Amino acid sequence: MTDYQAGKTVVVDKPFGWTSFDVVNKIRWNLKQKLGVKNIKVGHAGTLDPLATGLLILCIGKDTKKIDQYMPGLKTYTGTILLGKTTPSYDLETEFDDVFETNHIDSGLLNKSKLALTGIIHQKPPVFSAKQIDGKRAYEFARAGKEIEMKTVQVEITEFTIDDSRFPEIDFEITCSKGTYIRSIAYDFGKLLNSGGTLIALRRIKSGDFSIENALSPEEIIHRIQAETAF
């Protein structure tokens, strides 16, 4: 049987609706049951929002020491931005709160706006995010209806490609640095278009040297743990 305490790194395909900690807790619980231990270290290298799917690097046992090593790698995402509408969370976690015109948007404006969001940029994280503000998560203030000022952060977008064949839904692929909020990219993209933008789908397909092609579902990982199958 795999010596999980000695260290194991697993690439997980996080399901829609799960938090990253849901994945960690599910795998940790099954490992404890299988190994008959009171505790085993399990952590992840880079949070995914509950409404996002895709690659989550899971570190078990002594491999949790590698989390800081995995975190800085470039991330690649695919997804969809809906133009003409916004929400307070910049995604579908909250209801639409404003509607904008989209008739003026053409391919030239789309490309100009995309280029403005490529390279080193400064963005504001969403208020509905896990950013720490005065010792609390920003979303705690947002859900309580309290206004807070989010400070801008510097990030780098190394690649940003779009497909407007399903306009006003814009499909995209983005490669970016650690700490980039794709929800903020969607919102800022809408503003640059003199309209609105909401992230309606997001999937992480790469993180550093790890790729979604090698990912397993939580159910597959649990099955292999129970069956004592190597992975």
**Which residues are catalytically annotated?**
49
Distance spanning both ends of the chain, measured CA to CA? 11
- Pairing relation of β-strands 53-60 and 197-207? parallel
**Residues linked to residue 162 through DSSP beta bridges, in sequence order:** 172
DSSP output for 14-68: EPTT--HHHHHHHHHHHHHHHHT-S---EEESS---TT-EEEEEEEEGGGGGGHH
Mark 123-161 as b/e (b = at least 16 C-beta within 10 Å): bbbbbbbebebeeeebbebbeeeeeeebeeeebebeebe
